[in-house]
Amino acid sequence: MDKYFVVVRVDVEEQGAKQSLNTPGGEELYQRLGGGKGGVPFFAFLSAAGDLIVNTNEPPGEGRKGGNIGHPFEPHEVDWFMTMLSKAVPAMTADERGAMEKYLRSQKK
């Protein structure tokens, strides 16, 4: 099976002089996909039919309040991102996932 991915950037929550950068209809899409609970960046993986598979809203647990991880940096955020990949991209190889995880865990703030 071939792998096909479409990446779409939707701008939301721009204010003032940058408000014109917001994507028309973007706020509605953002809300439908579970956004708006923790700001941006927010991203979601959808099926080919447009159904939500998973988003960056980490569920609460193990002492975490949960919410949008944004760009994954903290260990629990990287953990959630890796869970997202396993749900949304099951065909991704262990080597591919490992390279992504290694990069994310090596980031310096």
- pLDDT, tens digit, 9 for 90 and up, residues 26-81: 999 999 999 987 889 999 999 989 999 999 999 998 888 889 999 999 999 999 99
Q: Is the pLDDT of residue 18 over 80?
A: yes
Please provide residue 103's backbone torsions phi and psi, each rounded to the nearest 5 degrees: -60, -50
pLDDT the model gives residue 3: 65
| Non-local CB neighbours of 92 within 8 Å, separated by 6+ positions | 85, 86
In 10 A of CB 94, how many CB atoms?
7
